[in-house]
């Protein structure tokens, strides 16, 4: 089995601005965001290119381009199984990007109960 996985995502605090920008840029179009959300819904089993194409109606060559961009941005992991490539959401990377956005949540304002809860959740997740 040939596994084409990206390195495990760094801790939220370690995600540099440039890395975050690359990750967000990778999902910066409607078709890519559609594919990424589809892979998140699929869970750890992932989906083949054919399954993604079937569910999105994105032409094969265009889909290959979008998957390549998502993989280059570290948002999708790909695993070759025989003639198929299984695509999975890179959950660690997605969590790190979400945490990057929220790590300074309400730092300059009196936090709402929701903001406090989000900040506490991030603190509990930190290594």
CB atoms within 10 A of CB 70: 24
Q: What DSSP assignment string belongs to 4-69? A: E-PPPPPPGGG--HHHHHHHHHHT-SHHHHHHHHHHHHHGGG-EEHHHHHHHH---HHHHHHHHHH
pLDDT of residue 1: 41
Q: Which two tokens stand for residue 64?
A: 């290959």
| Residues facing 117 on adjacent strands | none
The domains of the chain are located at: 2-125
Tokens 């903001």, residue located: 115
> What does the alpha-carbon distance between residue 68 and residue 70 come to, in Å, rounded to a whole number?
5
pLDDT score for 5: 43
| H or E stretch at 92 | helix 91-102
List, for residues 2-42, the tens digit of each pLDDT value. Answer: 444 445 555 545 558 888 888 999 989 999 999 999 999 99
Query: Which pLDDT tens digit goes with each residue over 45-90?
Result: 999 999 999 999 999 999 999 999 999 999 999 999 999 999 999 9
The answer to whether the CB of 96 falls within 8 A of the CB of 15 is: yes
| CATH number attached to the domain at 2-125 | 1.10.10.10
């Amino acid at each position: 089995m040939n596994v084409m996985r990206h390195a495990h995502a760094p801790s939220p605090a370690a995600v540099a601005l440039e890395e975050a920008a690359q990750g967000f840029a990778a999902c910066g179009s409607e078709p890519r965001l559609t594919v990424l959300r589809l892979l998140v819904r699929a869970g750890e089993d992932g989906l083949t290119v054919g399954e993604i194409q079937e569910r999105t109606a994105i032409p094969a060559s265009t889909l290959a381009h979008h998957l390549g961009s998502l993989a280059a941005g570290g948002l999708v992991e790909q695993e070759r199984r025989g003639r198929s490539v299984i695509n999975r959401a890179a959950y660690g990377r997605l969590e790190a990007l979400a945490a990057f956005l929220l790590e300074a949540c309400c730092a300059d304002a009196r936090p709402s109960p929701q903001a406090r809860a989000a900040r506490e959740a991030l603190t509990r997740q930190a290594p």
